[in-house]
Amino acid sequence: MQERFAGTVRAIREVAATDAPPTDRLQEAMALIQQDHPHYEWVGVYILRDDALELGPFVGAPTEHTEIPIGRGVCGTAAATRANQIIGDVRKLDNYLACSATVRSEIVVLVWDREEIIGEIDADCDEVGAFTAADEKFLTVVAAILAPLVRAVQ
């Protein structure tokens, strides 16, 4: 993992280990990501409940997409295909749910509990191509740290 992400991972580990309510710990983790990495203009957690992704803690502008069926949009595609998504330019997608007209790039990294998908971390940026494989590696580590908290609020 790139050095620029290592400090954030340490901070998220510390937050995850506190005895604050799980929702508060998830919220703080999202805030830490955005604070350290400004290209995470919107970043939040979706929780998989009964075949739909329900929006959990997030930072950034409120979104109307608080419940996303499996298969719909970038988030639903990640869950349906069991694969993380990195979208360089969302204008090139047909199956896209716009949170804001200004968003250009998006990343979705799955949260796993062993073989089971229990949620996702989703991030948006107004710049084209903002997210790379380095972000995917970072968010994969974050997802593993946060998985017990996602399970706790599921």
Q: Which residues bind ligand SME (CB under 6 A)?
A: 42, 63, 65, 68, 73-76, 96-97, 99, 106, 122, 124
Instruction: In angstroms, give the least distance from the CB of 54 to ligand SME.
Output: 12
- Closer of 75 and 142 to ligand SME (Cβ): 75
Comparing C-alpha atoms, which of 118, 127, 124 is closest to residue 148?
Answer: 118
User: Phi-psi bin for 50: left (phi > 0), alpha (psi -120 to 50), beta?
Assistant: left
Instruction: In angstroms, give the least distance from the CB of 71 to ligand SME.
Output: 10
Instruction: In angstroms, give the least distance from the CB of 142 to ligand SME.
Output: 17
Instruction: In angstroms, give the least distance from the CB of 119 to ligand SME.
Output: 13
Nearest residue to ligand SME, scored by beta-carbon proximity: 73
- Closer of 20 and 63 to ligand SME (Cβ): 63
Around 125, how many Cα atoms within 13 Å sit in the side-chain half-sphere?
20
CA–CA distances in Å: residue 93 to residues 4, 82, 146: 30, 18, 29
- Closer of 9 and 52 to ligand SME (Cβ): 52
Sign of the CA dihedral running 18, 23, 24, 26: positive
- Closer of 8 and 77 to ligand SME (Cβ): 77
Comparing C-alpha atoms, which of 105, 106, 107, 103 is closest to residue 139?
Answer: 107
